[in-house]
Amino acid sequence: MSALKLPFSAAQTSFPHPLKTNNLSDAEKIAQIASHMASVLDILGLDLSNDSLQKTPERIAKMYVQEIFSGLDEKNFPDLSLLDDPAPEETGRLITIKNIRFCSFCEHHFVPMIGTADVAYIPNGRIIGLSKINRIVRYFAKRPQLQERLTHQIHDSLKMILGTDDLAVSIEAKHYCVAIRGIEDDNSSTATYALSGRLESDPQLRTEFFK
């Protein structure tokens, strides 16, 4: 077993996030966002001297920085331990993790995009704990996102971490910007996937993954 702390560049993928680095600490980010949020609420006509609203700007700022958008900060990438494959003689076997729940946010409207991810891969000498795959999904979900980008970021980072060419990620998510505004369809969901290696080229493996 070996510990793996990814370098900054390791979280970059073929579908990169439009990120800008700034040198603000979390405390500075929270203070500045809270001040801007107070203006937004004020402009909307809310009375911030009201007990219930008083702390809302700071609450939103903390939630953005420490929780729902914490995946924008590379220092929050999960610590991972790689394990030697315990069954290397079983070459070609598929490891599948289904129904990983996540909550992300659409970057166009900043409202939730809630769904599940399925991951499958063929080990190439090493594996990681299954809960670590959930953590990687959540890390990339905790950003303002596009579903296609989220799918590729999970796929590309797992492919690199696991050192395998044979990997598949599929995501089905409900976009609340479609449910609560615009067309107001609260029934539809969106499916995206990223496949590589034998999971892309072998029809039997593909069928096994998608069934």
Q: Name, in order, each residue with C-beta under 8 angstroms of 12's C-beta and a sequence gap of 6 or more.
A: none
Interatomic CA distance for residues 117 and 144, integer angstroms: 17
103 is annotated as an active-site residue = no
State the pairing for strand pair 126-128/112-121. unpaired
Sequential DSSP letters for 125-162:
SEEE-HHHHHHHHHHHHSSEE-HHHHHHHHHHHHHHHH
Distance of closest approach, residue 45 Cβ to Zn ion, in angstroms: 25
Q: Among the candidate windows 77-85, 88-96, 101-109, 132-140, which touches Zn ion by CB under 5 A? A: 101-109
The SS3 call for residue 184 is: coil
- Position of minimal CB gap to Zn ion: 177
114 binds Zn ion (CB under 5 A): no
Identify the residue among 62, 109, 126, 206 touching Zn ion (CB under 5 A): 109
Task: Tell me the closest approach of the beta carbon of residue 160 to Zn ion, in angstroms.
Answer: 29
Q: Name the active-site residue from 12, 58, 74, 109.
A: 109
User: Taking CB under 5 A as the rule, which mask of x and - marks residues 170-209 in contact with Zn ion?
Assistant: -------x--------------------------------
* Shortest distance in whole angstroms from residue 181 CB to Zn ion: 8
Query: Which conformational region is residue 110 in: left (phi greater than 0), alpha (psi within -120 to 50 degrees), or beta?
Result: left
CB of 108 to Zn ion, least distance (A): 4
Pick the binder of Zn ion from 108, 163, 186, 188 (CB under 5 A).
108
Q: Which distant-in-sequence residues (6+ apart) come within 8 Å of 108 by Cβ?
A: 177
Is residue 106 annotated as part of the catalytic site, yes or no?
yes
Smallest separation (angstroms) from Zn ion to the CB of 111: 6
In 3D space, the residue among 117, 113, 102, 115 whose CA is nearest the CA of residue 146 turns out to be: 113
32 is catalytic: no
Backbone angles phi, psi at 20, to 5 degrees: -125, 130
Is 17 annotated in the active site?
no
Position among 34, 61, 106, 158 found at the interface with Zn ion (CB under 5 A): 106
**Position 140, amino acid:** F
Active site residues: 106-109, 147, 175, 177
- Tell me which residues touch Zn ion (CB under 5 A): 106, 108-109, 177
